[in-house]
């Protein structure tokens, strides 16, 4: 398994329109959403960076960078993260998926071999914002943003990629593993 030579990139640059407040700092089960991802990534990453256009993350020992192409969605976050990444590999995750444990990210790393991008897949869906990315795909994301096609699945499909299926046979699995919190009502469930 690859550890120590990996940058953790937490995408926290969304506008949080549906949440109504800055999503990464919203509290979930006693701590901010961003902290759940930081805590999951820190045991296996040599550095963690946050891509955010606003918010105070000074309580975490991370560097924070804004999008280079604001207003173009998560592809801009991936591009900025890979551009600031100091390692050849990065784990990328959105800030609103707090139930992803360290063991999940270790599993992705262990199965990321021979591809530029390895994303998580489950229940006949995949997660293009949760996966292992080679820094080498930075140019593909930058080019897509420059040419006006900021759609992560389309960009990913221009690279060498795979879906790593995650399900009940993994010891870290639980039904809410991919819980995605976007609205105040999501927090209440």
Residue-wise pLDDT for 149-184, tens only, equals 999 999 999 999 999 999 999 999 999 999 886 654
Residue-wise pLDDT for 89-114, tens only, equals 999 999 999 999 999 999 999 999 99
- pLDDT-wise least confident of 4-8, 58-62, 75-79: 4-8
What pLDDT is recorded for position 189?
59
**Using 50, 70 and 90 to split pLDDT, how confident is the model at 26?**
confident
Is residue 53 within 8 A of residue 60, CB to CB? The reply is no
Domains of the chain: residue spans and CATH? 6-188 (3.90.550.10)
Point out which residues pair with 165 in neighbouring strands: 121
What pLDDT is recorded for position 25?
82
Q: Write down the residue that tokens 């700092």 correspond to.
A: 25
What pLDDT is recorded for position 19?
43
Q: What is the share, in percent, of the chain residues with pLDDT greater than 70? A: 88
Angle at 9 between CA 7 and CA 13, to 5 degrees: 160
The pair of structure tokens assigned to 2 is 């690859």
Nearest by Cα to 167 from 122, 106, 109: 122
Does pLDDT of 58 surpass 70? Answer: yes
- Does 143 or 24 have the greater pLDDT score? 143
Mean pLDDT of 127-152: 96
- Residue 189 CB coordination number (10 Å): 8
């Amino acid at each position: 398994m690859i550890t120590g030579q990996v940058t953790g990139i937490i995408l926290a640059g969304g506008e949080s329109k549906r949440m109504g407040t800055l999503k990464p700092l919203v509290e979930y089960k006693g701590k901010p959403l961003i902290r759940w991802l930081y805590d999951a990534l820190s045991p296996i990453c040599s550095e963690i960076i946050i891509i955010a256009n606003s918010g105070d993350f000074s309580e975490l020992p991370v560097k924070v960078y804004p999008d280079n192409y604001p207003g173009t969605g998560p592809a801009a976050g991936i591009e900025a993260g890979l551009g600031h990444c100091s390692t050849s590999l990065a784990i990328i995750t959105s800030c609103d998926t707090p139930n992803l444990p360290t063991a999940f990210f270790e599993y992705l790393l262990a199965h990321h071999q021979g591809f530029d991008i390895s994303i998580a897949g489950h229940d006949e869906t995949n997660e293009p914002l949760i996966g292992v990315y080679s820094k080498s795909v930075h140019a593909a994301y930058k080019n897509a943003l420059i040419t006006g096609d900021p759609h992560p699945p389309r960009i990913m499909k221009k690279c060498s990629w795979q879906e790593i299926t995650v399900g009940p046979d993994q010891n870290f699995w639980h039904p809410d593993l991919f819980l995605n919190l976007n609205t105040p009502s999501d927090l209440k469930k």
